[in-house]
Structure 1
């Protein structure tokens, strides 16, 4: 998985992995505060998330990749 969570998320989705709403649900369950539209925008290159929010997205992707 890429070190950049945006690239990792896009690659994961394109490979038949989870959808953006599924990624958002895991991210939100871990304590993320962005809504699904903000997460979608971030994954597609608009830098809306910072710091802890990016770390939570990275953790969500790691957890989803092991399910």
Structure 2
């Protein structure tokens, strides 16, 4: 199975807004890396265990399925994932 960090980095290369979305979903699923260290974690510069990688897989699934399942744009999803934008 591919390292989910590589998948996350591919998403971020497509659109830098994915960094915040991925971290929020990672954190919501129980991830242990704070927002400031998340990008460093994705580049493999810090250690992670297999469960942390599974949490990242869930975060990727959550992030990519929000727009796909509901037929809404990724920009709309991002709007609601930014702090302070929930109705």
TM-score bracket, normalised by the shorter chain, equals 0.7 to 0.9
**Aligned twin of 2:81:** none
How many pairs align? 66
* Larger-Rg structure: 2
**Aligned twin of 1:24:** 23
How far apart are 1:53 and its partner, in Å? 1.1
User: 1:6 touches 1:44 (CA, 8 Å); kept in 2?
Assistant: yes
Moved over 6 A (4+): none
> CA 1:49 to 1:38, structure 2 compared with 1: closer, same or farther past 3 Å?
farther
How far apart are 1:25 and its partner, in Å? 0.8
**Aligned twin of 1:48:** 47
Structure 2, gaps ≥5 residues long: 67-87
State which drifts further: 11-20 or 26-35: 11-20
How far apart are 1:10 and its partner, in Å? 0.7
Deviations 1:12-66 (A, max 9, x none): 1111264322211111111112112332112122142212111101110011111
Kindly report the root-mean-square deviation, in angstroms, between the aligned alpha carbons of the 2 structures: 1.9
Q: C-alpha separation between the residues in 2 aligned to 1:14 and 1:49?
A: 22
